[in-house]
Copies of this chain bind each other. A is one copy, B any other.
Amino acid sequence: MTITYREALRQGLYDAFEKDERVFLMGEDVGKYGGTYAVSKGMLERYGPERVRDAPLSELAFVGAGIGAAIGGMRPIVEVMTVNFSMLALDQIVNTAAMLRHMSGGQFEAPVVIRMSTGAGRQLAAQHSNTLEAWYAHVPGLKVVAAATIDDAHGMVLAALDDPNPVVIFEYPALFELRGDVVHPSVDIATAKVMRPGNKVTLVTYGACLHKTLEAAEAVDGEVIDLRVLRPLDMAPVFESVRKTRRAIIVDEGWRSGSIAAEIMARIVEGAFYELDAPLARVCREEVPIPYPKHLEEAALPQVEKIVAAAKELLG
Residues of chain A whose beta carbon lies under 8 Å from any beta carbon of chain B: 60, 84-85, 87-88, 90-91, 94-95, 98-99, 102-103, 125-127, 130, 132, 134-135, 137-141, 231-233, 254-255, 257-263, 265-266, 269-271, 273-274, 276, 278-282, 287-289, 291
Contacts and interface: CB of A to CB of B under 8 A. Distances in A.
Given A137-B258, A269-B279, A281-B270, A87 B91 contact: yes
A60 B134 CA distance: 22
Contacts of A60: 88
13 contacts: A94-B130, A103-B125, A103-B289, A132-B138, A134-B258, A135-B135, A137-B257, A140-B289, A231-B257, A266-B266, A266-B280, A270-B279, A270-B280
B87 A99 contact: no
B270 A99 contact: no
Contact of A138 (B134, B140, B288): B134
A246 B247 CA distance: 21
Given A269-B269, A287-B140, A233 B257 contact: yes
A180 to B, nearest CB: 30
Given A255-B140, A258-B138, A265-B265, A127 B102 contact: no
Counting every copy of the chain, the complex holds 2
Contact of A289 (B99, B258, B265, B273): B99
Contacts of A281: 270
Contact of A94 (B87, B231, B260, B270): B87
A95 B127 contact: yes
Nearest to A259: B138
Contacts of A99: 126-127, 289
B103 A126 contact: yes
Which one of A138, A270, A278 has the highest number of Cβ atoms from chain B below 10 Å of its Cβ? A138
Contacts of A254: 138
A273 B266 contact: no
Nearest to A261: B266
A110 to B, nearest CB: 13
Contacts of A282: 266, 270
Contact of A262 (B266, B271, B291): B266
A220 B138 CA distance: 30
A262 to B, nearest CB: 4
A144 to B, nearest CB: 10
A140 B288 contact: yes
A130 B91 CA distance: 12
Counting from the closest, the 9 A-B pairs by CB-CB distance are: A138-B258, A273-B279, A262-B266, A265-B266, A140-B287, A99-B289, A103-B126, A87-B91, A87-B90
Nearest to A260: B258
Contacts of A137: 257-258
B263 A258 contact: yes
A289 to B, nearest CB: 4
Contacts of A260: 258
A282 B267 CA distance: 10
